[in-house]
Amino acid sequence: MTTEPAPPAGDLERDRRLEVLLDELVALPRGEELPADFAARVVAARPFAPWEVSRVSGWKVPAGIGLGLLAGSLGLALTPLWSLGPGTAVTVWAELLAVAFGRPVATLVSAFPLLSEGAARAAGSAPSGAAALVGASAVGLAATVALALGRLRRAVPAARRSRA
Protein backbone atom coordinates (compact mmCIF):
# COMPACT_ATOMS: atom_id res chain seq x y z
CA MET A 1 0.00 0.00 0.00
CA THR A 2 1.40 3.40 -0.96
CA THR A 3 0.43 6.88 0.10
CA GLU A 4 1.98 8.62 -2.89
CA PRO A 5 -0.34 9.80 -5.67
CA ALA A 6 0.03 8.29 -9.12
CA PRO A 7 2.51 10.22 -11.30
CA PRO A 8 1.06 12.33 -14.10
CA ALA A 9 0.76 10.71 -17.53
CA GLY A 10 3.37 13.10 -18.96
CA ASP A 11 5.96 11.87 -16.47
CA LEU A 12 5.23 8.25 -17.34
CA GLU A 13 5.58 8.96 -21.06
CA ARG A 14 8.86 10.85 -20.51
CA ASP A 15 10.20 7.95 -18.42
CA ARG A 16 9.20 5.46 -21.12
CA ARG A 17 10.96 7.48 -23.85
CA LEU A 18 14.10 7.80 -21.71
CA GLU A 19 14.13 4.05 -21.06
CA VAL A 20 13.81 3.37 -24.79
CA LEU A 21 16.70 5.73 -25.44
CA LEU A 22 18.86 4.03 -22.82
CA ASP A 23 17.90 0.58 -24.18
CA GLU A 24 19.13 1.71 -27.59
CA LEU A 25 22.45 2.68 -26.02
CA VAL A 26 22.83 -0.69 -24.31
CA ALA A 27 21.89 -2.54 -27.51
CA LEU A 28 24.69 -0.89 -29.53
CA PRO A 29 27.56 -3.30 -30.30
CA ARG A 30 30.99 -2.43 -28.92
CA GLY A 31 32.98 0.06 -30.99
CA GLU A 32 29.95 1.43 -32.84
CA GLU A 33 29.36 5.17 -32.61
CA LEU A 34 26.28 6.71 -31.05
CA PRO A 35 23.64 8.20 -33.33
CA ALA A 36 24.35 11.79 -34.38
CA ASP A 37 21.31 13.16 -32.55
CA PHE A 38 21.85 11.10 -29.37
CA ALA A 39 22.94 14.04 -27.14
CA ALA A 40 20.03 16.19 -28.33
CA ARG A 41 17.57 13.37 -27.67
CA VAL A 42 18.90 12.81 -24.15
CA VAL A 43 18.70 16.53 -23.35
CA ALA A 44 15.17 16.72 -24.77
CA ALA A 45 14.03 13.68 -22.76
CA ARG A 46 15.66 14.83 -19.54
CA PRO A 47 13.30 16.42 -17.02
CA PHE A 48 13.92 20.01 -15.96
CA ALA A 49 15.52 20.39 -12.54
CA PRO A 50 14.36 23.40 -10.50
CA TRP A 51 17.93 24.42 -9.63
CA GLU A 52 18.87 24.93 -13.27
CA VAL A 53 19.15 28.61 -14.10
CA SER A 54 19.53 28.36 -17.86
CA ARG A 55 15.79 28.19 -18.54
CA VAL A 56 13.67 31.32 -18.38
CA SER A 57 10.74 29.42 -16.90
CA GLY A 58 12.73 28.87 -13.72
CA TRP A 59 12.97 32.62 -13.15
CA LYS A 60 9.27 33.53 -13.49
CA VAL A 61 8.35 33.12 -9.82
CA PRO A 62 11.46 34.84 -8.34
CA ALA A 63 11.14 37.69 -10.85
CA GLY A 64 7.45 38.05 -10.04
CA ILE A 65 8.16 38.16 -6.31
CA GLY A 66 10.93 40.73 -6.79
CA LEU A 67 8.78 42.93 -9.01
CA GLY A 68 5.90 42.62 -6.55
CA LEU A 69 8.12 43.75 -3.68
CA LEU A 70 9.47 46.64 -5.74
CA ALA A 71 5.96 47.70 -6.77
CA GLY A 72 4.81 47.45 -3.16
CA SER A 73 7.66 49.62 -1.96
CA LEU A 74 6.92 52.12 -4.72
CA GLY A 75 3.25 52.16 -3.73
CA LEU A 76 4.19 52.72 -0.10
CA ALA A 77 6.57 55.48 -1.09
CA LEU A 78 4.01 57.21 -3.31
CA THR A 79 1.45 57.38 -0.52
CA PRO A 80 2.81 60.79 0.65
CA LEU A 81 2.41 62.06 -2.93
CA TRP A 82 -1.29 62.74 -2.40
CA SER A 83 -0.73 64.95 0.63
CA LEU A 84 2.92 66.09 0.64
CA GLY A 85 3.97 66.33 -3.02
CA PRO A 86 6.25 64.46 -5.43
CA GLY A 87 9.56 65.59 -3.91
CA THR A 88 8.64 64.16 -0.53
CA ALA A 89 7.37 60.94 -2.11
CA VAL A 90 10.64 60.38 -3.98
CA THR A 91 12.66 61.23 -0.86
CA VAL A 92 10.65 58.77 1.25
CA TRP A 93 11.07 56.02 -1.35
CA ALA A 94 14.81 56.65 -1.62
CA GLU A 95 15.15 56.50 2.17
CA LEU A 96 13.13 53.28 2.31
CA LEU A 97 15.38 51.66 -0.29
CA ALA A 98 18.50 52.92 1.46
CA VAL A 99 17.35 51.45 4.77
CA ALA A 100 16.24 48.19 3.15
CA PHE A 101 19.60 47.62 1.47
CA GLY A 102 21.95 49.55 3.76
CA ARG A 103 20.83 48.26 7.16
CA PRO A 104 21.65 44.59 6.51
CA VAL A 105 25.07 45.50 5.13
CA ALA A 106 25.79 47.78 8.10
CA THR A 107 24.68 45.05 10.50
CA LEU A 108 26.93 42.51 8.79
CA VAL A 109 29.91 44.88 8.93
CA SER A 110 29.30 45.61 12.61
CA ALA A 111 29.01 41.87 13.33
CA PHE A 112 32.47 41.02 11.94
CA PRO A 113 34.35 42.03 15.15
CA LEU A 114 31.90 39.99 17.23
CA LEU A 115 32.31 37.00 14.92
CA SER A 116 36.11 37.17 15.12
CA GLU A 117 35.99 37.54 18.90
CA GLY A 118 33.65 34.56 19.19
CA ALA A 119 35.84 32.48 16.90
CA ALA A 120 38.92 33.40 18.96
CA ARG A 121 37.16 32.41 22.21
CA ALA A 122 35.95 29.14 20.69
CA ALA A 123 39.43 28.35 19.38
CA GLY A 124 40.98 29.20 22.75
CA SER A 125 38.62 26.95 24.71
CA ALA A 126 38.65 24.02 22.30
CA PRO A 127 41.36 21.38 22.45
CA SER A 128 44.05 21.73 19.81
CA GLY A 129 43.09 18.41 18.19
CA ALA A 130 39.55 19.62 17.60
CA ALA A 131 40.80 22.88 16.09
CA ALA A 132 43.12 20.93 13.78
CA LEU A 133 40.25 18.65 12.76
CA VAL A 134 37.98 21.60 11.99
CA GLY A 135 40.75 23.30 10.01
CA ALA A 136 41.48 20.15 8.02
CA SER A 137 37.78 19.72 7.33
CA ALA A 138 37.54 23.31 6.09
CA VAL A 139 40.55 22.83 3.80
CA GLY A 140 39.06 19.57 2.48
CA LEU A 141 35.70 21.24 1.85
CA ALA A 142 37.35 24.16 0.06
CA ALA A 143 39.38 21.77 -2.11
CA THR A 144 36.26 19.75 -2.98
CA VAL A 145 34.32 22.87 -3.94
CA ALA A 146 37.25 24.16 -6.02
CA LEU A 147 37.55 20.81 -7.80
CA ALA A 148 33.80 20.69 -8.51
CA LEU A 149 33.81 24.25 -9.84
CA GLY A 150 36.81 23.46 -12.06
CA ARG A 151 35.06 20.42 -13.52
CA LEU A 152 31.89 22.44 -14.03
CA ARG A 153 33.85 25.17 -15.78
CA ARG A 154 35.34 22.61 -18.17
CA ALA A 155 32.01 20.81 -18.70
CA VAL A 156 29.92 23.87 -19.60
CA PRO A 157 31.87 24.84 -22.75
CA ALA A 158 31.94 21.18 -23.84
CA ALA A 159 28.15 20.93 -23.43
CA ARG A 160 27.65 24.14 -25.40
CA ARG A 161 29.86 22.81 -28.22
CA SER A 162 27.91 19.55 -28.37
CA ARG A 163 24.59 21.45 -28.70
CA ALA A 164 25.84 23.47 -31.63
**Residue 127: φ, ψ to 5°:** -65, 155
Residue 69, domain member (yes or no): no
Parent domain of 118: 74-125
Domain identity same for 116 and 91: yes
SS3 percent helix, strand, coil of the chain, rounded to 5, is 80, 0, 20
Q: Domain count of the chain? A: 3
Indicate if 85 and 119 belong to the same structural domain: yes
- Does 134 share its domain with 113? no
**113 and 143 part of one domain:** no
**Torsion angle (degrees, nearest 10) of CA 152, 158, 162, 164:** 100
Counting every residue, how long is the chain? 164
pLDDT band at residue 139, thresholds of 50, 70 and 90? very high
pTM beyond 0.75, yes or no: no
Q: Is 133 helix (H, G, I), strand (E, B) or coil?
A: helix
Q: What are 56-82's pLDDT values in tens digits?
A: 777 788 889 989 988 887 777 677 777
